[in-house]
Amino acid sequence: KISEHLTPEVRTVLNVPGALASRDGRGGTAPGAVAVQLAEVKADVAAQHAWADAKK
């Protein structure tokens, strides 16, 4: 039996996009969190390239 608490309104947010968007902490899957992580990785890679180039 499905719970009576699982109303149509509740089900509108219980979906994959809603689940991803709700994870907005560090390391989360929300678009904003992913954008922050991507920016951090790009900065780290750029720093590593600069370090490697300086060692040539």
Helix (H, G, I), strand (E, B) or coil at 48: helix
Residue 26 CA to residue 35 CA, distance in Å, equals 11
What token pair was written down for 53?
Answer: 């180039």
Tell me the pLDDT tens digit for each residue of 14-48.
889 888 998 999 999 999 999 999 999 999 999 99
Task: Show me where the domains of the chain are located.
Answer: 8-54
End-to-end Cα distance, the chain: 67
Q: What is the pLDDT of residue 23?
A: 92
- pLDDT at residue 52, as a whole number: 97
Which has more confidence, 4 or 44?
Answer: 44
In this prediction, residue 41 carries a pLDDT of: 98
What's the rounded Cα separation, in Å, for the pair 35 and 43? 12
Which is higher by pLDDT, 50 or 13? Answer: 50
Which pLDDT does position 18 carry in this prediction? 86
